[in-house]
Chains A and B, each alone.
Chain A
Amino acid sequence: MPDYIAPTRSHGLVDILDRVLDKGLVIAGDIKINLANVELLTIQVRLLVCSIDKAASIGMNWWQHDPRLTTRPADAGALGSGEVEKRLERIEQQLRQLTERSGAKRRPSTSTE
């Protein structure tokens, strides 16, 4: 069973945010969640993933190098350059700053969904 779970690559932050903030089970009618912040971050993530140029520039071009999903061998040079990692690091840094800024501005909230 664990074999099926091993990811084909490490899951990127953008993929994770897009999923955990926007999808998944909601069971609490009175959940204490700051929806303003979730919406802000979700919108920022959407902006990041909405265009192919941006997707490529933040490292979402990994599928081109996945031997299971491409018909040519992985380009070791491109992956080894660390460029993708550097770009991801930059984008994570930006996300952190955006989150800190929105955290500083947030109003106490016990909004319901």
Chain B
Amino acid sequence: MDAFRACLAIYLYCVLRATREPPATLLGIDGAPVRAVDLGGLGAWVSEVPSAPIVPSPERARSHDSVVRAALEGETPLPARFGQTLASEEELRAAVAERRAALETALARVEGAIEMTIRMLVPRSESVPSETTAAQSPRARSGREYLERVAAAQREERNVLARTQAVRDRISAAVGGLVRAEAFAAAAPGSTLATLSHLVPRPDIDRYRHALLTVRHDDPALAFMVSGPWAPYSFTEGIGT
């Protein structure tokens, strides 16, 4: 039995404010049953996996998220990133003990709230290639032409940032009062998609949706889409390794 256990690792799904048992039928990565671990006040949901790196796959990503989603039915958990395994419960306890204060602060911040995500689509000028494309294009006939292309691409990136900020300001003005925290990821160079995540208290979700509906009604040209509720994946920063 010990030899068998030695071949297994513990896969982490989420950390909770207090130990709470998962539903008896809840299955995680590769169909393994999910169980709770008491971390002396805090809790975690884990399952056993072979002690080899967990190769990501769509099925495993879905399993990970569905366990986190089940935890979200109760008090808001801190969702773990995909693929974290620890050799033993002792190792998990040590990892949690090392950053206990930061975990407690993060859990207090997400308490009673969920994450909503807005993807903002920012139009680009079709004629302007991205900076990378411009720099790599073999068709520049002269140094001057090359530099002009790079300058145009840089101008376009600045324009995209300004347009993104305008959409972001419009949305923030509408939902700002309902939002506990905000996380923003600007569009990558060449991309049209920026992501704005909001931590919204659960009782305010309907008002939050209504506020966005009003924005869409007032300004149908603004291109954004909303998804959620999610576990607060975007609000776990500052804990780190």
Chain A contact residues, CB within 8 Å of chain B: 1-2, 4-5, 7-9, 11, 13, 15-17, 19-29, 31-34, 37-38, 41, 46, 49-52, 55, 60-63, 66, 68-71, 92, 95-96, 99, 102-103, 106, 108-110, 112-113
The residue in chain B whose Cβ has the minimal distance to the Cβ of A110 is: B53
Report how far A101 CA is from B118 CA in the complex, Å.
32
- Residues of B contacting A66 in the complex (Cβ-Cβ under 8 angstroms): 226
B193 near A28 with CB under 8 A, answer: no
A63 near B83 with CB under 8 A, answer: no
Q: Mark B167-209, 1 if CB is under 8 A from A, else 0.
A: 0000000000000000000011011110000000011010001
- Residues of B contacting A7 in the complex (Cβ-Cβ under 8 angstroms): 228-229
B86 near A41 with CB under 8 A, answer: no
Q: Does B241 contact A (CB under 8 A)?
A: yes
- Residues of B contacting A108 in the complex (Cβ-Cβ under 8 angstroms): 52-53
Report how far A24 CA is from B69 CA in the complex, Å.
13
Kindly provide the distance from the CB of A57 to the nearest chain B CB, expressed in whole angstroms.
14
The residue in chain B whose Cβ has the minimal distance to the Cβ of A34 is: B53
Q: A26-B81, A68-B213 known; A34 and B54 CB under 8 Å?
A: yes
Report how far A28 CA is from B27 CA in the complex, Å.
23
Query: Contact partner of B95 among A11, A29, A32, CB < 8 A?
Result: A29
Q: Mark B84-98, 1 if CB is under 8 A from A, else 0.
A: 111000010001100
Kindly provide the distance from the CB of B161 to the nearest chain A CB, expressed in whole angstroms.
16
- Residues of B contacting A70 in the complex (Cβ-Cβ under 8 angstroms): 216
Kindly provide the distance from the CB of B6 to the nearest chain A CB, expressed in whole angstroms.
14
- Residues of A contacting B213 in the complex (Cβ-Cβ under 8 angstroms): 68-69, 71
B55 near A68 with CB under 8 A, answer: no
Q: Mark B104-125, 1 if CB is under 8 A from A, else 0.
A: 0010000000100101010000
A28 near B72 with CB under 8 A, answer: no
Q: List 7 A-B contacts (CB under 8 A).
A: A11-B227, A20-B61, A23-B234, A27-B84, A31-B84, A33-B54, A106-B53
Report how far A81 CA is from B227 CA in the complex, Å.
22
Given contacts A2-B73, A15-B117, A20-B81, 20 further A-B contacts (CB under 8 A): A8-B228, A20-B68, A20-B79, A24-B233, A25-B78, A25-B81, A26-B236, A26-B239, A27-B96, A33-B53, A38-B56, A49-B119, A50-B187, A50-B193, A52-B193, A61-B225, A69-B216, A71-B216, A110-B53, A112-B241
A23 near B233 with CB under 8 A, answer: yes
Kindly provide the distance from the CB of B116 to the nearest chain A CB, expressed in whole angstroms.
10
B83 near A96 with CB under 8 A, answer: no
B121 near A52 with CB under 8 A, answer: yes
Report how far A54 CA is from B198 CA in the complex, Å.
25
Query: Contact partner of A24 among B9, B74, B82, B193, CB < 8 A?
Result: B82
A33 near B223 with CB under 8 A, answer: no
Kindly provide the distance from the CB of A43 to the nearest chain B CB, expressed in whole angstroms.
10
A63 near B54 with CB under 8 A, answer: no
Q: Which of B9, B51, B225, B240 has the most CB of A within 10 A?
A: B225
- Residues of B contacting A25 in the complex (Cβ-Cβ under 8 angstroms): 14-15, 78-81, 106, 236, 239
